[in-house]
Amino acid sequence: MSDEALIVLENVNKWFGPLHVLNDVSLSVARGEVVVVIGPSGSGKSTLCRSINRLEPINSGTITFDGKPLPAEGKALARLRSEVGMVFQSFNLFAHKTILQNVMLGPIKVRKEKSVEVRERAMSLLDRVGIGNQAEKYPAQLSGGQQQRVAIARALAMQPKALLFDEPTSALDPEMVGEVLDVMTSLAREGMTMVVVTHEMGFARHAANRVVFMADGQLVEQAAPAEFFANPKSDRAKDFLSKIL
Ligand code: ADP
Ligand code: MG
């Protein structure tokens, strides 16, 4: 495995019509690193996340993943999407499929893996996120926190090189936030490369290697969590922290 960063964005710009949503963003994420992205609503955090697995094409600049520029289409793009898992605020599970089927679907359909092998891996992932005993249920029979843990198992079933999380706990009732953050924290400790957009500052403090603060499409400041929370440098970061802490 090489030392080069796994995810590298250089001078990335993205517009939605006249709106400059990513303004010259440069960021690199090392293998095994956990980067938490914070910032006000509308600052471009989701767009940044989505640009990394090319759910959003960018207008200028470059993004490389594992040493290669992001592919624009076809099989290479499908491979990229399987290597960069994404977990959204809304869990997006298939309602008419069981929990186990939800986790098995990607590896079978996209990666053409054998069902026996995928089943074994899916069951062990469901155990790992604490849902092993619910495998035959349907999503609606599970709580929000359980469904989000299934969504994480589903992303892991593709054996991704990195995981992107876009506000994974924002849609959850407060009592379910902890169980999802616990799964994410253990993934972080096991060395998964993660980019996490979240308002959970406890997670940022304890699980992140680096905090990146965005405002108005710009990456305003980045630092180790202890440094960032103790000593934010920009006025915008100070203002943001004063409102949420
Ligand atoms: P955040 O995740 O930080 O709240 P987003 O990346 O979702 O920010 O959005 C950044 C800006 O881009 C916002 O002003 C938002 O309204 C706008 N935006 C996001 N997606 C689209 C889209 N598909 N079309 C037009 N504008 C968009
Ligand atoms: Mg967002």
Residue 88, CA distances (Å) to 4, 149, 223, 225, 227 in order:
27, 11, 25, 23, 28
Residue 48, CA distances (Å) to 8, 53, 186 in order:
12, 10, 24
Cβ–ligand 1 contact at 43 (below 6 Å): yes
Cβ–ligand 1 contact at 139 (below 6 Å): no
Cβ–ligand 1 contact at 2 (below 6 Å): no
Structure confidence by residue, pLDDT tens digits, 57-88: 999 999 999 999 999 899 999 999 999 999 99
Q: Whole-prediction pTM value? A: 0.96
Instruction: Please tell me the residue having the least CA distance from ligand 1 atom 25.
Output: 16
Cβ–ligand 1 contact at 218 (below 6 Å): no
Task: Copy the structure tokens of residue 179.
Answer: 């169980």
pLDDT of residue 127: 97
Confidence band, pLDDT 50/70/90 cuts, at residue 190: very high
Cβ–ligand 1 contact at 44 (below 6 Å): yes
Ligand 1 center–CA 216 separation, angstroms: 10
Alpha-helical runs (H) found in 190-230: 201-207, 225-230
Confidence band, pLDDT 50/70/90 cuts, at residue 1: low
Q: How many CB atoms lie within 10 A of CB 75?
A: 8
Ligand 2 center–CA 63 separation, angstroms: 20
Cβ–ligand 1 contact at 47 (below 6 Å): yes
Confidence band, pLDDT 50/70/90 cuts, at residue 111: confident
Q: Is the pLDDT of residue 197 over 60?
A: yes
Percent of the chain at pLDDT exceeding 70: 99
Mutate to test the pocket of ligand 1, among 12, 14, 16, 88 (most ligand atoms within 8 A of CB): 16
Whether residue 177 contacts residue 145, with contact meaning beta carbons closer than 8 Å, is answered with: yes
Q: Backbone phi, then psi, for 56, in 5-degree steps? A: -120, 120
Atom of ligand 1 nearest to the CA of 47: 6
Cβ–ligand 1 contact at 16 (below 6 Å): yes
Ligand 2 center–CA 86 separation, angstroms: 13
pLDDT of residue 151: 97
| Interface predicted TM-score (ipTM) of this complex, two decimals | 0.98
Nearest bound ligand to the CA of residue 50: 1
Atom of ligand 1 nearest to the CA of 44: 6
Q: How many CB atoms lie within 10 A of CB 74?
A: 8
Whether residue 29 contacts residue 5, with contact meaning beta carbons closer than 8 Å, is answered with: yes
How far apart, in whole angstroms, are the C-alpha atoms of residue 167 and residue 189?
19
Cβ–ligand 1 contact at 146 (below 6 Å): no
How far apart, in whole angstroms, are the C-alpha atoms of residue 237 and residue 213?
7
